[in-house]
Chain A
Amino acid sequence: MPSSGQVMVRSACSATDVVKIYGSGDTAVRALDGVSAEFAAGSFTAIMGPSGSGKSTLMHCLAGLDTATHGSVTVGGDEITGLDDRALTNLRRDRVGFVFQSFNLLPTLTAEQNILLPLELAGRRVDRELFDALAGSLGITDRLRHRPSELSGGQQQRVAIARSLITGPQVVFADEPTGALDSRTGQSLLSYLRSSSRESGQTIVMVTHDPIAASYADRVLLLADGRVAGELVEPSTDDVLAVIRTLGS
């Protein structure tokens, strides 16, 4: 949280003129065509756009899951563009958290083991207080010993969120986190994300196509055809819908 009197806002992650090209020659696809964006620490940003706009690709590049063809990406102020696979893997382990739409958890591990997995991979000690607090606030304390097949969709996503937060990452990336959930469960999840950002200062970048989900964010970044097409601050659902309609045409 920025201290009083200072307007210095650190950037949790940023992209500068990022270009991502798949394939080569005639079949080359420019998924990202020079995207620049900055995500302030403690912000909750939603990236929206029609299919093929490159929103997932942008997230992958920001998170170190994929490497940009041109341009630069930073996480926590550090340049990650030139890093090799080992370094990127370590980055994902220690400084970044993930929530996907589905298939977030390893079916052979219990909920608790899934949550603690990134710590185990990093060889770090478990902060039991943090763990209990997370589990409590997400309401999954009594489901910790169960396997994913024994959990409902909403519970699985909450376990995934707990896992993404347990390492205290600089950014949490969520790719359509509520896509497979019913509206009530989805909205309770989004509320949690929002409060996590507002009260705990967790930076969250969420990719979504759902305007209702986008309305939970502080800022909505719009992408179309691999380029930034617009930005909305503190949008309502209607604002988002209006802009999307123009993008689609």
Chain B
Amino acid sequence: MRSRSIAAAWAQLRAYPTRMVAVVLAIVLGVGFVAATLVFGATFRASLGAAVSARYVPTDVVVTGDSSVDQQKLLSTVRAVNGVDEAEYQPTAMPEFSSAGARGVLRLDAVPDDPRLRWFDLTSGTWPSSADQILIDAATAASTTLQLGSPVTITGHDGTDPLTVTVVGIADTTASAFSGAQNQAFAAGSLVSKLSLGSELSLGGDSGPIVAIAASGVSAEQLRGDIATAVPANVTVQTSATQIEQDLARVTGGATVLTIVLLGFAITAVVASGIVIANTFTILLTQRRRHIALTRCIGGSRGQVRSEVLAEAALVGAIGAVIGVAAGIGVGVLGARLAGLDAAGPVLPPLPLLFTGLGGIAFTALAAYAPASRAMRIAPLAALRPVADAAELKRASVLRLSVAGVLTLLGVVLMVAAVTVPALLLGMAGGALSACGILLLTRTFLPGALRVVGRLGGVFGPPGRLAAANAHRNPGRAAATTAALMLGVGLIVTLQVGASSAQASLDRNFAERYPVDIAITSTGSAIAPGVVEAVANVDGIRTSGVAIGAALESSGIGTTILGVGEEAAAALAAVPAELRDDTVIVPSHLLSAGLSVGDRITVRASGGSSEFTVAAGTLARQGINGDSLITTAAAIARLAPDAAPVAVWAAVDPDADLATVTATLNRLIAPEDGLSLGGSAPERAAIGSELGTVITLATALLAVAVIIAIVGIGNTLGLSVIERTRESALLRALGLHRRQLRLMLAVEAALLAGVGASIGVLAGIGYGWVGAASAFGQAGGPMVLDIPWGQLGLVLLLAVVAALLASVMPARRAARATPTQALAEV
């Protein structure tokens, strides 16, 4: 029996291969997504592992002591142990550095003296031969513009004088887990250990391990035991293999999280393909009604009918799964390579991939199960009595409506709770439940929506009106077709609204914390006029001005005073009322029992003294200039004629790219001593770019689900064209031109996609708002709802255009048939 079903299924597939193309495509996309995620995750994990373990690979034993241990003494102890071929101390330090083109913090690792312990090669230059030479890695060279021979000034944390070193080599550390994340350099051990003294490095309080190579004939385990007996009790001794395992476990937790998140997106794609598969089989079986009825007439049982359909589904699923897994592997490997996360080479986890393939087959059969069960209930009589058009069951299934109603209600309640409590998890749960409910209700509200929007079809004349009438004739099918699209679009819009609101809320948060976009402040000397002018000329800076500062001889409160110039005040988002010539704004922590707002104080500086009224205000609270009193520059001009610019405040153009402006300003101030860049713009830039990258990535991943949905729409259209052959022929006979027939189908596709996507957009706005409100509520910050209408409009437009494109092939096929061919009595 089983083999007969499979043979029949194969015959069916060979006869009408094109009808299953969409189903295969949906399976390929869904299975492929999962496979790609698994491969990507495994590769990433392996690469992380390789990076973390790279330094231990050439070693046999790792000895770690805490901060109380004298590392040099420990090193001698280890070296003295029998069986140790070589041992070295590998400290790490994090000094500050500055060079001609960059400033920041450097992660400085020790270069092993023994070449056997070196775990990387040089792409250019030479190894450091003295304590004033360093290596940097390629990524650092790119971001800091340092090259071979560049001098770098390094300052340790222990207050010692800065050292000048020279870059003598570029290291190839593509295997480094941190490559790109921080500035990486290497230097002789002596230099590094000098710099690491007095620094507070975490990692258990020590600044680096001692690694040892075993002599020939001695196993790592044996050496570990020997060393352990020689060292004090507060020192940990492990074989390198064990150490690598431990570090791996700690670091790859992140890779696992990433894999899980990606799988979440994959599941969305899989759900979309499930909808497409079920829909396609429903349509196909409706068309094959008479053949199935015939089978039943001549003696086929219900079970046989169902097995045949399931066999077909399994066959198609197998084809799709094989292609999907292969494609997914390719995409996963490519993705890891493009992201630079494949240092350890591509990893293909065999068992998960096998299960993914098998899962794809099972899932296809599962999706086809309901249509198959419906097919087996076709009465044998249907073969003899031509059923012109399946009468649509107008009575809505009571069960479906009540389940949908309950789910939706429950979901809404949870979401309201999520916003009031607030708790993001509640919001997500509520969102998922209500989404299920709405999808179930689609069949009920979609025809109405299609009717209303369908009036627009009249714009296109008779074909448009016919298209509008066609779109809602089969509510079940229309609902099933658009469900996947609604899901995909809804998720994308939720993400975008959430992200947009997050960005806007953070912006508001920053605006409250920092009154000015850019604040360049000097810790020591005055800011050179050249710098002030350069800042004003930076592309994207709308207005900028200086604030002058002077030391106070006496005031009773602060020791410095800051005078905000007119142009600098113009750069503020809102000029506070307290910024006046006769008032001084006092940082709130300096206000005390003896001094309060409204008091008059006398301030004395190098040029004389003045009286001011005390005020408090947000300007002083932001800590823009430490403990300075703040007033206008005009007021200070008289008080301290020698006051010099100590800060530059600037406002950024609303359209400017914050990241670019920040980077330009950073490059500008790097060569100057004691200047630092602050304000809301640099913070917003950092967050904005991260947020932007994540959102773009997430949108791209969700787009897969949307693509599957569009394929589904094209598929439904194609199949219903076949179903409506006689109708199309009748229309042609009555005088509808070919072009008009194609237009009719295009309008139908656009209508379905447009309404589906619109509902998705509306739902997405709601969910995005709930998500942002509950997340921000939970984090305790102000929430600003920002709906990116432009982006949403784009999503809607793309969905409609994609559906139009998907309708081109079916429309051409429909228009090609001649009236007589189709009207012939079949």
Chain B binds chain A: yes
A interface residue numbers (CB < 8 A to B)? 60, 65-66, 85-86, 89-90, 92-94, 98, 100-104, 106-109, 117-118, 120-123, 149, 163
B residues touching A (Cβ–Cβ < 8 Å)? 388-389, 391, 461-462, 465-466, 469-470, 473, 726-727, 730-738, 740, 818-820, 823, 825
* A113 to B, closest residue via Cβ: B469
Q: Which of B462, B726, B727, B732 contacts A89 (CB 8 A)?
A: B732
Identify the 6 closest CB pairs spanning chains A and B, nearest first. Answer: A93-B735, A108-B469, A92-B735, A108-B473, A66-B820, A120-B462
- Residues from chain B with a CB closer than 8 A to the CB of A106 are 466, 469, 727, 730-731
* Cβ-neighbour of A104 out of B462, B730, B740 (below 8 A): B730
**Majority secondary structure of chain B interface residues (helix, strand, loop or mixed):** helix
- Can you sample 13 A-B contacts with CB below 8 Å? A65-B818, A85-B737, A89-B737, A100-B730, A103-B730, A108-B466, A108-B469, A109-B469, A117-B462, A120-B462, A121-B735, A121-B740, A123-B462
What's the count of A-B pairs with C-beta under 8 Å?
68
Contacts A92-B733, A118-B735 given; does A107 touch B820 at CB 8 Å: no
Q: How far is the CB of A195 from chain B (nearest CB, A)?
A: 24
Beyond known contacts A65-B819, A65-B823, A120-B462: 14 more, CB 8 A cutoff: A65-B733, A65-B820, A66-B818, A66-B819, A89-B737, A90-B735, A98-B734, A103-B823, A104-B730, A108-B466, A108-B469, A108-B470, A121-B735, A123-B461
In the complex, the answer to whether A103 meets B469 with C-beta atoms within 8 Å is no
Residues on the A chain within 8 Å of B469, using CB? 106, 108-109
Name the distance in Å between B468's Cβ and chain A's nearest Cβ.
Answer: 9
- For B389, the chain A residues whose CB sits under 8 A away are 107, 149
Find the residue from B470, B726, B733 having the highest chain A CB count within 10 A: B733
Give the residues in chain A near B388, CB-CB below 8 Å. Answer: 102-103, 107, 149
Contacts of B819 in A (CB 8 A): 65-66
Residues of A within 8 A of B730 (CB): 100, 103-104, 106
A98 CB contacts on chain B under 8 angstroms:
733-734
Residue of A nearest to B739 (CB): A86
Using known A-B contacts A103-B388, A149-B391, determine if residue A86 contacts B820 with beta carbons closer than 8 Å: no
In the complex, which of the residues A94, A106, A109, A120 has the most CB atoms of chain B within 10 Å of its own CB atom?
A106
* A214 CA to B115 CA, complexed, in Å: 108
Q: Are A101 and B391 in contact (CB under 8 A)?
A: no
If A89-B735, A107-B388 touch, does A121 touch B462 (CB 8 Å cutoff)?
yes
Q: How far is the CA of A22 from the CA of B819 in the complex (A)?
A: 15
B735: A residues at CB distance < 8 A? 89-90, 92-94, 118, 121-122
CB <8 Å contact, A100 and B823: yes
A103 touches B726 (CB 8 A): yes
Complex interface: chain B residues within 8 A of A163 (CB): 734
Q: How far is the CB of B367 from chain A (nearest CB, A)?
A: 29
Out of B473, B737, B818, name the residue touching A107 (CB < 8 Å): B473
Contact across chains for B391 and A92 when beta carbons are under 8 A apart:
no
Residues from chain A with a CB closer than 8 A to the CB of B740 are: 121
Q: Per a CB cutoff under 8 Å, which of B391, B734, B737 touches A86?
A: B737
Q: Which residues of B contact A60 (CB under 8 A)?
A: 820
User: Complex formed: what's the CA distance from A118 to B732 in Å?
Assistant: 11
Most buried by A among B731, B732, B818, B825: B825
Complex Cα distance A122/B461, Å?
10
CA distance A120 to B825 in the complex (A): 27
Instruction: Give Cα A117 to B473, complex, Å.
Output: 18
Closest residue of chain A to B389 (Cβ to Cβ) is A107
B199 to chain A, nearest CB (A): 79
- Give Cα A117 to B466, complex, Å: 10
| Docked CA distance A85–B466 (Å) | 21
* A15 to B731 Cα, complex, angstroms: 25
A118, B733: Cα distance in complex, Å: 10
Please name the residue on chain A nearest to B823 by beta carbon: A100
Return A72 CB to nearest CB of chain B, in Å: 19
The docked-state distance in angstroms from the alpha carbon of A107 to that of B730 is 11
Residue of A nearest to B391 (CB): A149
Min CB distance A175 to B, Å, is 8
Residue of B nearest to A120 (CB): B462
CA distance A121 to B388 in the complex (A): 24
Residue of A nearest to B469 (CB): A108
Q: Are B473 and A85 in contact (CB under 8 A)?
A: no
How many Å from the CB of B300 to the closest CB on chain A? 28
- In whole angstroms, how far apart are the Cα atoms of A117 and B389 in the complex? 20
Closest to B818 in A: A66
A93 and B734 form a contact (CB under 8 A): yes
CA A102 to CA B824, docked complex, whole Å:
11
| A106–B823 CA distance with the chains assembled, in angstroms | 13
Closest chain A CB from B388 CB (angstroms): 7
- How many angstroms between the C-alpha atoms of A101 and B386 in the bound complex? 14
Give A90's nearest chain B residue, CB to CB: B735
Cα distance A101–B388 in the bound complex, in angstroms: 13
Q: By the criterion CB–CB under 8 Å, are A85 and B738 in contact?
A: yes
Check A89 against B736 for contact (C-beta < 8 Å). yes
By a CB distance below 8 angstroms, the chain A residues around B734 are: 92-93, 98, 117-118, 121, 163
A101 to B389, CA, bound (A): 16
Instruction: For the complex, give the distance between the alpha carbons of A36 and B446 in Å.
Output: 55
Q: Which residues of A contact B462 (CB under 8 A)?
A: 117, 120-121, 123
A122 proximity list for chain B (CB < 8 A)? 735
Q: Which residue of B has the minimal Cβ distance to A63?
A: B733
Residues of B near A120 (CB, < 8 A) are 462, 465
A122 to B734, CA, bound (A): 10
B731 — which chain A residues lie within 8 A by C-beta?
106
Most B C-beta atoms less than 10 A away, residue of A60, A66, A100, A121: A121
User: In angstroms, how far is the closest chain B Cβ from the Cβ of A52?
Assistant: 13
Q: Measured between C-beta atoms, what is the minimum distance from B820 to chain A in Å?
A: 5
Q: A104 vs B727: C-alpha distance in the bound complex, in angstroms?
A: 9
Query: Beyond A100-B823, A108-B470, A109-B469, is A121–B738 a contact (Cβ under 8 Å)?
Result: no
B455 to chain A minimum Cβ distance, whole angstroms, is 15
The residues of A that contact B732 with a CB separation of less than 8 Å are: 89
Q: A118 to B734, alpha carbons, bound, how many Å?
A: 6
Specify which chain B residues have a CB less than 8 angstroms from the CB of A102 in the assembled complex: 388
A90→B732 CA distance, assembly (Å)? 10
Please, how many angstroms separate the alpha-carbon atoms of A163 and B738 in the complex? 21
Provide the bound-state CA to CA distance between A85 and B815, in Å: 12
Complex: A94 Cα to B735 Cα, angstroms: 8
Bound complex: CA of A92 vs CA of B734, how far in Å?
Answer: 6
- When chains A and B are docked, how far (Å) is the Cα of A163 from the Cα of B734? 10
Complex alpha-carbon distance, A217 and B469, angstroms: 38
CA distance in complex: A90, B738 (Å): 11
Q: Which residues on the B side are within 8 Å of A149 (C-beta)?
A: 388-389, 391
Residues of A with C-beta under 8 A to B727: 103, 106-107
CB distance from B531 to the nearest CB of A (A): 74
A14–B740 alpha-carbon span in the complex (Å): 30
Please, which residues of chain A bring their CB within 8 A of the CB of B737? 85-86, 89
* Interchain CA distance A246-B333 in the complex, whole Å: 79
Closest to A101 in B: B825
Q: How far is the CB of A161 from chain B (nearest CB, A)?
A: 14
Nearest B residue to A109 by beta-carbon distance?
Answer: B469
Residues of A within 8 A of B391 (CB): 149
Closest to B472 in A: A108
Shortest distance between the CB of B718 and any CB in chain A (Å): 19
> Could you say which residues of chain B place their CB within 8 Å of the CB of A100?
730, 823
Which residues of B are found within 8 Å of A94, using beta-carbon distances? 735
**Complex Cα–Cα for A62 and B737 (A):** 19
Nearest Cβ distance between residue B303 and chain A, in whole angstroms? 32
- Residues of A contacting B738 in the complex (Cβ-Cβ under 8 angstroms): 85, 89
Chain A residues with CB under 8 Å of B470's CB are: 108
Residue of A65, A66, A101, A109 contacting most chain B CB atoms (<10 Å): A65
CB-based nearest B residue for A164: B734
Which residues of the partner chain B approach A121 to less than 8 Å between Cβ atoms?
462, 734-736, 740
Q: Which residues of A contact B733 (CB under 8 A)?
A: 65, 92, 98
Bound complex: CA A89 to CA B461 (Å): 17
The docked-state distance in angstroms from the alpha carbon of A92 to that of B730 is 11
Residues in B with CB closer than 8 Å to A85 are: 737-738
Across the interface, name the chain B residue whose C-beta is closest to A117.
B734
Complex Cα–Cα for A104 and B823 (A): 10
